[in-house]
Amino acid sequence: MVNAASPAPRTRAAASTPEATAGSAPAPVPAVDVTAITTRDDFLLELGQTLGGQAAVRPVETIDAALPHLSSTRRAQLLVIDARCVSELRAAADAAHAEAPHAALLVFAEAAGEAQAGAALKGSGVFALLPLPLDVRKTQAVFEGAVVEARRRKDSAPADRLQAAKLSIGAFRPAAASAVASQSDDGDSTTGSRKFLLIGGAAAAAVAVAAGAWFFMHGKAGPAAQTAPVASVASPAAPAVTTDTGAAAEPAAPVADTSIIKGKVDELLEKARLAMHERRYTEPAADNALVYFRSAAAADASNGEARDGLQRVAAVLAGRFEESLGAGRFDEAALTLANFRAATPTDPRADAFTQRLFVAQIARATADGSLDRASALVRQAQQSGAVPAEQIARWRTELARRQEDTRVQHLAGLVADRIHDGKLTDSDDSAKTYAHQLSALAPGNPATVRAEHDLMEADLRKAHDAAAARNPADQDRWLNEARDAGMKPADLAAFQHELANSRQKASLAEGERLAQLFRDRLGSGALTDPAQDSAAYYLTQAQTNSPNDPAVAQGSHDLAGKLLDRARVAALAGKSGDADIAAARHWGADAASISAVQQLQNKPQAQTPAISTAALAAKLKQTRSAAPEYPQSALSHQIAGSVVLMYTVDTSGMPRDVHVIESTPPGVFDSAAVAAVRRWRYAPTVVNGTAVEVPVRTQVRFELPK
């Protein structure tokens, strides 16, 4: 037996003397505290197996949760960040460096994002950036170097950072299946040794905390008694990882302070009363009311004060549990529940508390989309025996539905992304591939139906583009792809109807364009030249585009008339008009009109003296004149100018095809000049008894009034 603890203050040196440690060999002390920011149990499993027991790993989900653990410089600190679980990687690294510069930082990133992570962390002081999946040999080698660096930083940390680390019960996860401190046969354990509580998911065993360990960590007076190993009290908590290869990740069970301090009952009860007075119900470790009352009850099971004290502690813990659960602090509630079970193992409220905690934790994990964590919690709820089988079945059904929905949404998103990128077929990373996977997974799901419809629409757009480009092979190919994507006969009929409408609209638009070009060239006199920019050229194009268009027939009539007029003028001028007569015949000129021009052309020169177009224009007699209106803007700005126009006086004496040849200044007087000429009238010009058209070039001057 070891004597009861003395209340006199003790120094740290005393805590580590041979006398204090007599009875057993020192427990192994980790060289470094490892905190890992991750939400992935598979990563923790790989990391634990890779470290091979060199250190325990404390998992947290955010940098804010990691910082309090890194503040200690009692041991060297190493922070591990899973880049897949941290959205602001550089911000997390900077926060860790600012709050805990003595901590070494390792970052793990997938190969695809390793370069991006490296760029983000440049200049941040990260010790190393390692690839995922884990490379065991490389990770082990880098880890050893990181431990050396962390210890160097710890040794050089400023004095004001050398604060005692608070032991967080159940906060660490094992790198091996279990780690249990060596105990002597009579229950004695090492006094003054520092211990981690390493929780093995498979073994579910805990290491009891020595009272002397609390003294060493906190520097206060405490019992120099021994601890005996006691089974931990299981309750739901944060995710942990098992060490068995291939085992499912399970939430870790927090461990209550189940230390049994050996000593006199009266002294234990006195310490328990003081702890109750100071409200040290479960903390600090090994120096709290729960430990002292349990130790007194273990020493004397019939002691009424010890049993009553445990009931009072349980009442406090029940209130704390309700408060933590209501505030959503589930880890705190889980640890409180573990302590509640340690205080009153047979209290019927424990199972009700357990069920309520599972309900709240699973609801939050499900709402957050952490379905793997929710599944692990459901497994643990089933193992606890505190949750009815009906509730377990409902949870599993809901999680299976949500997991399927998650996979469906993921595949549907891939289909949409590949459609957006134009990757419809021809690879394993195409919209077609993911759509087939989606159909196999959830054939009736609305997301599946929508993805198949979107892919079919994309295929039809490709077919439409091929049809517009007059590529029937590609059109048939994309129509077949659309059929594979689920196109129905009604969809095909709608596509063909839309294609016909599109072609009709395109034909109408092209016809209007060609008709306008034809009219422009006809009006300017460019009847047959240039070869590819003349009235004849555009009329040929219009005839090919829409041979049955009435406008084409009217255009042919107009062009034939113009050609005959030009041939007639040429004949009067003593020139040949055979080319124009042939072109007029091609465009449908009637035989009588052609014969009349040919007769005029074939008359002997003595009977038909050559008359130039200038001579014809000189013979014109104007019967009505209209002065142009002076533009008001030009008048107000005192602008004068002139416009040169070309037009044809037809056989009735009316100007037509009036167009501007030249104007000074450009565009100012054009409209006014054209409008004036169109109002002019002439007496028909008759040559050899036949009225002829006369081309005219004239200048209209605009002079400021004096």
CATH number of the domain where residue 619 is located = 3.30.2420.10
Given this model, what pLDDT does residue 94 score? 86
Within this chain, do residues 45 and 173 fall inside the same structural domain, yes or no? yes
Given this model, what pLDDT does residue 493 score? 86
For residue 366, being part of any structural domain is answered with no
At 257, is the pLDDT very low, low, confident or very high (cuts 50, 70, 90)? Answer: low
505 or 109, greater pLDDT? 109
The whole-angstrom separation of Cα 229 and Cα 628 is 117
pLDDT at 418 over 50: yes
Which tens digit of pLDDT belongs to each residue from 468-498?
A: 888 999 989 999 999 888 888 888 888 888 8
For residue 546, being part of any structural domain is answered with yes
For residue 242, being part of any structural domain is answered with no
Within this chain, do residues 480 and 555 fall inside the same structural domain, yes or no? no
Within this chain, do residues 527 and 630 fall inside the same structural domain, yes or no? no
Average pLDDT over residues 200-208: 31
For residue 163, being part of any structural domain is answered with yes
Average pLDDT over residues 259-281: 93
Which tens digit of pLDDT belongs to each residue from 618-650?
A: 888 999 998 999 999 999 999 999 999 999 898
Element (H, E) at 663: strand 655-664
Within this chain, do residues 33 and 128 fall inside the same structural domain, yes or no? yes
Within this chain, do residues 39 and 140 fall inside the same structural domain, yes or no? yes
Average pLDDT, the chain: 79
Within this chain, do residues 564 and 470 fall inside the same structural domain, yes or no? no
pLDDT at 510 over 90: no
Residue where a domain stops, chosen among 178, 200, 217? 178
Within this chain, do residues 690 and 560 fall inside the same structural domain, yes or no? no
pLDDT at 13 over 60: no
Given this model, what pLDDT does residue 157 score? 64
Residue where a domain stops, chosen among 602, 632, 659? 602
Given this model, what pLDDT does residue 215 score? 29
Given this model, what pLDDT does residue 610 score? 59
Within this chain, do residues 156 and 41 fall inside the same structural domain, yes or no? yes
Is the separation of the CB atoms in 266 and 400 below 8 Å?
Answer: no
Burial label for 95, CB within 10 Å (0-12, 13-18, 19+), is middle
Residue 578 tokens read as: 């055979």
At 651, is the pLDDT very low, low, confident or very high (cuts 50, 70, 90)? Answer: confident
pLDDT at 14 over 60: no
Within this chain, do residues 34 and 173 fall inside the same structural domain, yes or no? yes
* Sheet bearing 128-132, strands edge to edge: 57-60, 32-37, 76-82, 104-110, 128-132
In this structure, the dihedral spanned by the alpha carbons of residues 135, 141, 144 and 146, taken in order and rounded to 10 degrees, is -70
124 or 7, greater pLDDT? 124
Give the residue numbers spanning the domain of 482: 405-487
Strands 76-82 and 685-687: unpaired
pLDDT at 295 over 70: yes
At 317, is the pLDDT very low, low, confident or very high (cuts 50, 70, 90)? Answer: very high
> What percentage of residues in the chain have a pLDDT greater than 70?
79
At 53, is the pLDDT very low, low, confident or very high (cuts 50, 70, 90)? Answer: low
Which tens digit of pLDDT belongs to each residue from 373-387?
A: 999 999 999 998 889
At 611, is the pLDDT very low, low, confident or very high (cuts 50, 70, 90)? Answer: low
Given this model, what pLDDT does residue 324 score? 94
pLDDT at 160 over 60: no
Average pLDDT over residues 508-516: 88
Is the separation of the CB atoms in 317 and 233 below 8 Å?
Answer: no
Within this chain, do residues 676 and 641 fall inside the same structural domain, yes or no? yes
Residue where a domain stops, chosen among 127, 143, 178? 178
306 or 605, greater pLDDT? 306
Least confident among 20-34, 188-202, 319-333: 188-202
For residue 374, being part of any structural domain is answered with no
Within this chain, do residues 83 and 143 fall inside the same structural domain, yes or no? yes
Given this model, what pLDDT does residue 174 score? 33
Given this model, what pLDDT does residue 57 score? 85
Burial label for 524, CB within 10 Å (0-12, 13-18, 19+), is middle
Given this model, what pLDDT does residue 171 score? 30
Contacting residues for 24 by C-beta, under 8 A, at least 6 apart: 182, 183, 184, 188, 189, 190
The whole-angstrom separation of Cα 107 and Cα 90 is 11
At 50, is the pLDDT very low, low, confident or very high (cuts 50, 70, 90)? Answer: confident
Place of tokens 């070309």: 646
At 531, is the pLDDT very low, low, confident or very high (cuts 50, 70, 90)? Answer: confident
Within this chain, do residues 554 and 426 fall inside the same structural domain, yes or no? no
For residue 327, being part of any structural domain is answered with no
The whole-angstrom separation of Cα 536 and Cα 579 is 13
Least confident among 246-260, 261-275, 315-329: 246-260
For residue 123, being part of any structural domain is answered with yes
The whole-angstrom separation of Cα 289 and Cα 269 is 9
For residue 212, being part of any structural domain is answered with no
